[in-house]
């Protein structure tokens, strides 16, 4: 994917993404402390899922956009319910 190529070949992008991941760790930790995220869910799991969702947005703009967008929105909704402890 374009994301992986950029990480491997563009040091500025890699540095930027590393900084963003560190920021996301702080945000996730704070959300856990405030009870906004269900206890017992690994912060690294949350980061990986968010990266997956973000990476999948790059495929929008190609064929079958409606189906891809529907799947992506459904996954976001389910992920939110999971981390909030609603399911």
Which pLDDT score, from 0 to 100, does residue 57 have? 80
Give the pLDDT band of residue 1 (cuts 50, 70, 90): low
Q: How far is residue 86's CA from residue 79's CA, in Å, rounded to a whole number?
A: 10
Which pLDDT score, from 0 to 100, does residue 12 have? 94
Is the pLDDT score of 81 beyond 90? yes
DSSP 57: G
pLDDT tens figures, 29-73: 999 999 999 888 999 999 999 888 887 887 777 676 788 888 899
Q: How far is residue 10's CA from residue 72's CA, in Å, rounded to a whole number?
A: 27
Which pLDDT score, from 0 to 100, does residue 52 have? 87
DSSP helix/strand/coil, 17: helix
Cβ pair 1, 55 in contact under 8 A: yes
Give the pLDDT band of residue 2 (cuts 50, 70, 90): confident
């Amino acid at each position: 994917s374009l994301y992986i190529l950029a990480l491997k070949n563009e040091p500025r992008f890699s540095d930027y993404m590393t900084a963003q991941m560190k920021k996301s760790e702080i945000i996730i930790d704070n959300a856990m402390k405030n009870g906004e995220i269900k206890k017992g869910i690994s912060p690294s799991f949350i980061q990986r899922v968010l990266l997956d969702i973000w990476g999948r947005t790059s495929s929008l703009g190609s064929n079958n956009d409606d189906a891809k967008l529907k799947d992506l929105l459904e996954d976001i909704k389910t992920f939110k319910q999971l981390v909030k402890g609603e399911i």
